[in-house]
Amino acid sequence: MTYSARHRMLTAAVAGLLSASFAVAASGAATAAPRSASACNLISLPFPADAYRGEADAVDPTGRFVAGTGLRIEEDGNQLLLLVWDRGRLTTIESSLAGSVADVNARGVVVGNGAITGRSRPWAYRNGTLELLPAPPGYVMAEAINKAGDIVGFVQEVDTGRTSPLRWPAARPGTYEMLDAPADAAAAGITQDGTIVGYAGEFGAWTSWVRRPDGRVETLTVPGARWTQVHTAQGHWAIGLVDLGGQSSVRVRWDLRNGSWSRIPDKLAWVTDVNARGTVIGDEVVARGTATRILPGSGEGVNVGANAIADTSVIERHCRIPQRPPRRRPGHAGAVGRLLTSRRHTATG
């Protein structure tokens, strides 16, 4: 990706984090909607009643831990919230760094990204404490964590826009290391055995790669593709997008054991996650091989989407429900918001 394109992408992300952290509230906080207000026939995850919004972004492979973010509107500004569910029991952590959640592992360690002085910074939440990860100069993002606690992500140099993949090894707490990979690369996912996947190259000319636990780096290919971009991996599977010359990109799944690939059914408008069984989710669809199933919950005025899937096939989804404007108070302008609630559903398709 070129410097200007990638720099704009990261700058926009940081600007969004900053506006969420420090914008002045224009209205009172919305409260959680009762279950009867939702057309989703699914299991609700509790979230703070005084939160303006809440979202579940990640689930660990066992389905025990779920992590996401929320926003509380206060008199003197907005408060970002880290939300962590352990078997459905919610813990709420107030932190100006809780801009987004990237992943959570089977031990309940959450990784995500926030912003400090206009630059993205990764963090980890473990043992009740949210702490910044050590990082080189530049824009730094964490993307994934495995059961052992190894974290991967990337850094973008401020002056050149060049990116390099990073790993924060669990065996050496408080350290990070640059990984050998193709030029201008970013790590996107890590499996339980330490296999890392990522992509590299200029904008519109990406290539995908896999780094084995022994350090070997191999290319993930699709014959005839103009570019490939891997998104994430779990078990022996990786998913991503490829350009085969059509009007739109094609969603594919790679078998990391031999590098073979298969096309994901077109019913998935996009892909967000894959589990160790190779089951893929995206939008409101779950796909196992060529078979697909529409997840329940959509209805008039209600939009749902799948964010993450565990190896147990527990799927974390969001459900957007239009809400009435919060009551206006003297001296405050009213605001119309959407309350984002989380739903959990076990898919067997």
CATH classification for the domain delimited by 133-263, as one of 2.130.10.150, 3.40.190.10, 3.10.20.30, 3.30.420.40? 2.130.10.150
pLDDT at 15: 30
Nearest to 24 by CA among 79, 69, 92: 79
What is the per-residue burial (b if ≥16 Cβ within 10 Å, else e) of 41-76? ebebbebbebbbbbbbbbbbbebbbbbbbbbbbeee
Could you tell me what percent of the chain has a pLDDT over 70?
76
Give the pLDDT band (50/70/90) at residue 317.
low
pLDDT at 53: 85
Q: What is the CA radius of gyration of the chain?
A: 20
- Whether the predicted pLDDT of 321 surpasses 60: no
- Sign, Cα dihedral of 244, 264, 64, 298: positive
Q: Which of 127-141, 167-181, 290-304, 315-329 has the lowest mean pLDDT?
A: 315-329
Query: In the sheet where 280-282 sits, what is the strand order?
Result: 273-274, 280-282, 285-288, 291-294
- Give 73-97 pLDDT, tens digit per residue: 988 889 999 999 999 999 999 999 9
pLDDT at 295: 80
What is the per-residue burial (b if ≥16 Cβ within 10 Å, else e) of 305-340? bbbbbbbbbbbbbbbbbebeebeeeeeeeeeebebb
Name 167's Cβ contacts closer than 8 Å, sequence gap at least 6: 150, 151, 152, 176, 177, 179, 187, 190, 196
Report the mean per-residue pLDDT for the chain. 80
Phi and psi torsions of 19, nearest 5°: -65, -35
Give the pLDDT band (50/70/90) at residue 319.
low
Is the pLDDT higher at 221 or at 35? Answer: 221
Give the start-to-end residue ranges of the domains of the chain. Answer: 8-87+274-349, 133-263
- Whether the predicted pLDDT of 255 surpasses 70: yes
Mean pLDDT across the stretch 214-225?
96
- Check residue 13 and report its DSSP letter: H
Identify the residue whose tokens are 């002085």: 117
Is the pLDDT higher at 310 or at 302? Answer: 310
